[in-house]
Every structure is written in C-alpha cells, then in structure tokens.
Chains A and B, each alone.
Chain A
Amino acid sequence: DIQMTQSPSSLSASVGDRVTITCQASQDISKYLNWYQQKPGKAPKLLIYDASNLETGVPSRFSGSGSGTDFTFTISSLQPEDIATYYCQQNYNLWTFGHGTKVEIK
C-alpha cells in the first residue's frame, strides 16, 4: 500500500501570507497526486489534480508542484475564506489520503 505523509499537521498564518504544505509518498507515484480542501461540516472539494492542474473555478492563488515522491501545495496569498483542512491524495494505485493540514488565521 502507498502511504502519504503530509506536513505540517496544522499551521497558523496571517492574511496575505504565502502558505506551503508538503506531501511525501512512500513510493514513486509519478504525477498522480491531488489536493482537496475541506471546510468544517462540508464535503471535500478538489483543488488540484495531477500534481499541478488547477480544477475549474479554483482561484489561481492555489497551486501545486512536484513529481515522484515529493509534492508541494501553495496558497500564494492566504485569504480568510481559505480556512480549512487540506488533504493530499495519491491516485497512482487505488487512492490514499494524507492525514490533513489544518490551516488557521493568525
């Protein structure tokens, strides 16, 4: 099974800050890495697929990069509405989620 290690588990940042979350796969997953946003009490929302492709309608301040085992998710300028938990997910072999990163406003 492919394991996903996501860090940090939580972070606090100011509005306008650049926020970075990392995700490491236990084996090479090529580009098959996705990022989801989940707000409290809501279903997850796909933001980035295939490591770096922005889902339709998602603001351009969200971006993703990486390949192989190491991936990065970035919010270029944190907004109040970005308060949520973010999950990475591999879809190279079935699907596995990371444990999530809770993003809060400082």
Chain B
Amino acid sequence: EVQLLESGGGLVQPGGSLRLSCAASGFTFSSYSMTWVRQAPGKGLEWVSAISGGAGVPYYADYVKGRFTISRDNSKNTLNLQMNSLRADDTAVYYCAREISYSSGWYRPFGKWGQGTLVTVSS
C-alpha cells in the first residue's frame, strides 16, 4: 500500500525557515515524480513545487521560486521542501503527492496524497 507521511510543519515567524519532509513507502520511490501542493485555510489548492524521478529535476511555482527548494533522497525514500523567507501568505496545509504513471502527459496528475502538515507563519 502506498503511504505518504508529511512532517515538519509548525509555527514560524515571518522571515523564518522551515523544512518539510515526506516519508514514502509502498512503491519504488525513485521511479516517480513527487510534488508539494498547499492549501491556505478556507482556500483552494495551489501547486508549489515538483521534482522528477531519476535525475531529480525541480520545478517551482513563481511565488516560491528563490525561497523554496525541493529535494529528494532516494536512498531514504524521502521528499523534502526547504522553505526560507517565509511570509504570512505561505500559511497553509502542505500536501506531499505522487504522480500517476499511466497518464500520457509530460506533467502527470497526482494520484496519491499524504494527509498534510500545517505551516503557520505568524509573529
């Protein structure tokens, strides 16, 4: 069974940093692209960042480019998101998700999701 378990969320002051992790199990982690999606309280879904399987090519939404860094450790089946220069509008539940392998697109839909971890940016 595929499982994704996020950790690392919490309360941080504006300008601060936080590192999220997602522990994956139940599949060959290195073979899949992984992504982070966030949801601000009471708001919709927002794609944040993704990283390809294999070579680990990163992709970022414009509003986090230069502040967030996505990485993966295939030996530990772990996805990470280093978040720096955090702002109040980064407050959200952050979900880790895995692509589906059977979609025909280059950028694939997200078929498996974790339960999310809450990041609160406030003084």
Contact = CB atoms under 8 A, between A and B. Distances in A.
A32 interface: yes
B62 A93 contact: no
Interface of B: 35, 37, 44-47, 50, 59, 61-62, 95, 100, 103-105, 107-111, 113-116
A93 B107 contact: yes
A1 B62 contact: yes
Interface in A73-98: 85, 87, 89, 91-98
A44 interface: yes
Given A1-B62, A100-B44, A49 B114 contact: no
B111 A46 contact: yes
Nearest to B6: A43
> Chain A at the B interface: mostly helix, strand, loop or mixed?
loop
Contacts of A85: 44
Q: Which of A44, A55, A85, A93 has the most CB of B within 10 A?
A: A44
Q: Which of A46, A55, A93 has the most CB of B within 10 A?
A: A46
Interface string A28-39: 000110101010
A24 to B, nearest CB: 16
Given A34-B109, A38-B45, A55-B100, 7 more contacts: A36-B110, A44-B113, A45-B113, A49-B103, A87-B44, A94-B50, A94-B107
